[in-house]
Amino acid sequence: MERAVSGAALPDFVERAADLTRRTTLGLPGRAAWYAEIRSVEQLAMLAGDSRQRRFVLGAGSNLVLTGDFDGLVLRMAIRGRELIGEDDDAWYVRAGAGEDWHRLVLWTLAQGWPGLENLALIPGTVGAAPIQNIGAYGLEVAERFHSLDAVDMSTGSTLQLDRSACRFGYRDSVFKQQGWHLNGQRVITRVTFRLPKRWQPLTGYAELAAELDRMPRSGSDTGPGSGPASVLTPRQIADAVIAVRSRKLPDPAALPNAGSFFHNPVVSAAVAEGLARAFPGLPRYPQADGGVKLAAGWLIEQSGWKGRDLGRVGMYEKQALVLVNRGGACGADVVALARAVQEDVCKRFGVELAPEPILL
């Protein structure tokens, strides 16, 4: 810690007392004792090896609740670059720097004619953050398009590669969360390689996406809303539909600060889900491969009376109850208080525990 406190041995690119408020999408106040923009693997290696120093790795700050000041070193990943590194009969392999903007990567791959990421359009955040919580939307998780990632082990400064099985992906989960590597800045993702399928199939099973596509005019011979079979769809049209649905329901963090879904969708046993459905007809239920049943946290929150309701300077968004928004000037304690109130009410009414999705720092 002495090194960080005195700053004697820290390289020039490390700043002191950096304000993080505008570096997170919830816009909560907080400072980092030390802060560095990381543009290269070499910079990371220069900061490796000091086990006394607390570290946190920041991307776009779109999945983070700052509960106050951070007495350690924040590494903001700004490693750029995106390229096709290879292809075979089945796929294109695209590698991107951890600091690239996720949505721009999606649009760029589509413009190059490499489909596969379209269902994940408009998700806020960086490329490096995508595998950490296995981002997902509209029937697709990034794990399904993931090939491998490069990371730096901050205890030694050495680089390593993790393939899909080493990442141990789950619902909004990976080895980076399971092992605490992300929260303690122990292994830092520098680049991610995606595997984009040449035999592309549109994924339009998500009801809201299908409805949006039905309303959209189609290109090609089959024009007009709802007229064509799914096979005439292009990846770009799916991206456009996803963008339309997301823009309607999810607040733009630049206009209304938020961190996306604030809670995970809870998974309960089939017996619990059945009991709840008997008591609450209309309960959305999504059976999982392992026999569990995923429930919709947004529905549970709405039914508990929290949709569009505020507690002080924060509230649950009026168009999507799963999104916690900062109405202006909120701090970490406001967010924690609202999250607790919502958790308590949902638990009282349904007996279901909600777990926060963003990282609390």
Instruction: List, by residue number, the catalytic residues.
Output: 172, 261, 357
Q: Judge whether 127 and 95 are in contact, CB under 8 Å.
A: no
**Token duo for residue 148:** 């491998």
Q: Out of 299, 315, 338, 350, which residue is the one contacting ligand EPU (CB under 6 A)? A: 299
Site for ligand EPU in 30-89 (CB under 6 A): none
What's the first-to-final CA gap in the chain, in angstroms? 19
Compute the C-alpha angle 186/187/191, nearest 5°: 155
Q: Out of 15, 87, 153, 302, which residue is the one contacting ligand EPU (CB under 6 A)? A: 302
**DSSP single-letter state for residue 230:** G
Residue type, 150: D
Taking CB under 6 A as the rule, which mask of x and - marks residues 263-292 in contact with ligand EPU? Answer: -xx------------------x--------
Q: Does residue 321 bind ligand EPU (CB under 6 A)? A: yes
Cα–Cα distance list, 324 to 179, 209, 354 (Å): 27, 23, 13
Indicate the residue among 43 and 126 with the shorter CB distance to ligand EPU. 126
State residue 180 phi and psi, 5-degree precision: 70, 10
Taking CB under 6 A as the rule, which mask of x and - marks residues 96-115 in contact with ligand EPU? Answer: --------------------
- How many residues bind ligand EPU, per CB under 6 A? 18
Q: Which residues pair with 311 in a beta bridge?
A: 314
Indicate the residue among 28 and 250 with the shorter CB distance to ligand EPU. 250
Q: CA 127, CA 106: separation in Å to the nearest integer?
A: 10
Closest distance of CB 307 from ligand EPU, Å: 5
Site for ligand EPU in 227-256 (CB under 6 A): 250
Taking CB under 6 A as the rule, which mask of x and - marks residues 130-149 in contact with ligand EPU? Answer: -------xx-----------
Closest distance of CB 205 from ligand EPU, Å: 11
Q: CA 104, CA 106: separation in Å to the nearest integer?
A: 5
Q: Judge whether 151 and 190 are in contact, CB under 8 Å.
A: yes
Q: CA 52, CA 278: separation in Å to the nearest integer?
A: 53
Q: Judge whether 222 and 140 are in contact, CB under 8 Å.
A: no
Indicate the residue among 99 and 298 with the shorter CB distance to ligand EPU. 298
Site for ligand EPU in 171-210 (CB under 6 A): 208
Residue type, 50: D
Residue numbers at the binding site for ligand EPU (CB under 6 A): 137-138, 208, 250, 260-261, 264-265, 284, 296, 298-299, 302, 307, 320-322, 357
